[in-house]
Each structure stands twice: as structure tokens, then as C-alpha cells.
Amino acid sequence: MSQSDTILAMYEAMHSSLGPSHWWPGETPFEIAVGAILTQNTNWQNVKKAIANLKAHDLLDARAMHDLPLTELAELIRPAGYYNVKARRIANFLNFLKEEADYDLKSLKSEPLYELRPKVLGVNGLGPETADSILLYALDFPTFVVDAYTARLMDRHGLSYEGIDYYELQAIFMDALPEDVALYNEYHALIVRVGKDWCKKKAGLCDTCPLKPFLE
DNA sequence: TTCCGGGTAA
DNA sequence: TTACCAGGAA
């Protein structure tokens, strides 16, 4: 089987065994973008608490959030951890949103991906994974999100190697898959689910893993 | 390489 | 009590 056939087959295996993931959780593109920053190296359960705090204060709105002093924002997102750095990163993102889109995140959809992506990456605190998460899950751009789960899973299946670069790993998927936002969306979600529940950091639970047939 | 960090499962 | 988490910057 070719590399891209394998990657397509892995998707089918995960999807048929786990079902749809309904990603990204979040009611609006802005909520998704904020969630993408909050979940950097952080358990989603903790992010949910931070988002609940923001919602309770009617702050899941770009203008309202931008009017809030940084220290108060930090306090509200405290459950998500790294709350001081993340408050600064969200503020950086809000500055960007104001300048580039007059606080209207969705308006950025009119811009081509190849022009928008470098601008998003120019925001201090938004690295490749966070940028791609916002572009794919909040704005429906066809850019594939990879992460530590993806790297580990692919390495363990002999389809990658330890320490692979973000863009190289991303290219493996984008070269193998048709350009399809819904597919990119679901594939990354399935990888995260498999990464959390089977392809764990220490010892993988390969015996019961949906991807067991793909081990060498 | 180190720092940022609260929350929870094991 | 430790280990780890939908990372990124300095």
C-alpha cells in the first residue's frame, strides 16, 4: 500500500470505529480561536472551565474582551494554566483582530490562506499549531493541523521519525489527502482522540487501538 | 533548555 | 504524590 493509501485507510479505520468527533467545540469562530490559545499544552477540561468563566461574564466577544484589563482576563482564564502568558497572547490576538478585521474574525475568510496564515503566525504567542487550528476550525480554511499526538502516532507506525518538523509532518498529510476542510477537521480530531485514549505517551494501548491493523 | 501552571487521573 | 496536558517564546 502506498503511503497516501495508508493515510487514507487509517482515517477510515478511526472514523468507522470511533464515529464523528464534532470538532471544534465552540459556538462561534471567536470562541474557537480563544479556545485554541487556551488549550496550548493544556487539558481541554481545564480550558472548558476558563471558557465558562468568560461566558459567565459575557466576555466571549472580541470588543468586550479587549476592553478588559489584562490582569482581570488572566484571573478569569486561570483554570487553563499559564494564565499570565495566555492573557498576553489573547491580547496580542485581539490587537491583530482589531487591526486586520475590525474585531470581525469571520471577515478574514475573504482573504486567501497564503496571505492570512503568515499574518496569524506573526502574532506573538500563535505558533503553527494554534494558527492552523484557528484557520481550520474557526475559519474553515483547508490547512491540516498536526501536533504532538500526530508526531507520536506516525512515528510509532513507522510513517514518520522522532523530532520531525511541524511543516514536514503537515506535508505528509496534505500531500496524501484531497484538499477537504471536513476531512482535515475530522482527521486531526480523530488523531487527538486516539492519542489520548490509546497512543499514550508512555505505553501505547496497541492491543485495543483502532489503528492496530496498521502496526508494522 | 527552560519557563509558564492549574486541574485531575493514576 | 507524580505525570501529563488540542504549545510557544526567550
Q: Are residues A18 and A48 in the same domain?
A: no
- A73: Cβ contacts below 8 Å, ≥ 6 apart: A59, A65, A87, A90, A91
Q: Are residues A56 and A94 in the same domain?
A: yes
Give the residue from A138, A171, A198 where a domain finishes.
Answer: A138
Judge if the beta carbon of A26 is closer than 7 A to nucleic acid strand C.
no
Report the distance separating Cα A75 and Cα A56, nearest Å.
13
Report the distance separating Cα A130 and Cα A215, nearest Å.
29
CATH code, A181: 1.10.1670.10
Grid cell in block for residue A63: 470588543
Q: Are residues A100 and A181 in the same domain?
A: no
Farthest-apart Cα atoms in chain A, separation? 55
Give the residue from A93, A111, A138 where a domain finishes.
Answer: A138
What is the rounded average pLDDT of the residues A8-25? 97
Q: Are residues A113 and A96 in the same domain?
A: yes
Coil, helix or strand for A143? coil
Q: Are residues A82 and A10 in the same domain?
A: no
pLDDT one-digit tens code per residue, A116-165: 999 999 999 999 999 999 999 999 999 999 999 999 999 999 999 999 99
Residue A89's pLDDT is 98
Nucleotides of C under 7 A from a protein CB: 3-10
Helices A113-121 and A83-101: angle between axes, nearest 10 degrees: 140
Instruction: Please report which confidence band the pLDDT of residue A41 belongs to, taking 50, 70 and 90 as the band edges.
Output: very high
Domain count for chain A: 2
**Can you list the alpha helix ranges (DSSP code H) found in chain A?**
3-18, 29-38, 44-56, 62-67, 70-76, 83-101, 113-121, 128-133, 148-156, 166-176, 181-197
Q: Are residues A209 and A153 in the same domain?
A: yes
Q: Are residues A101 and A52 in the same domain?
A: yes
Percent of chain A at pLDDT > 70 equals 100
Distances from the Cα of A51 to the Cα of A20, A57, A80, A97, angstroms = 23, 10, 9, 19
Judge whether residue A1 has pLDDT over 90.
Answer: no
Q: Exposed, middle or buried: residue A59 (CB in 10 Å: 0-12, 13-18, 19+)? A: buried
- Protein CA at A121 to nucleotide C1' at B10, angstroms: 37
Cα four-point dihedral sign A35, A14, A209, A145: negative
What is the rounded average pLDDT of the residues A23-38? 96
Give the residue from A110, A138, A166 where a domain finishes.
Answer: A138
Whose C1' is closest to the CA of A200: which nucleotide? C4
Q: Are residues A74 and A45 in the same domain?
A: yes
Q: Which residue is nearest to nucleotide C6 (CA to C1')?
A: A39
Q: Are residues A10 and A42 in the same domain?
A: no
Domain span holding position A80 = 29-138
Q: Are residues A133 and A34 in the same domain?
A: yes
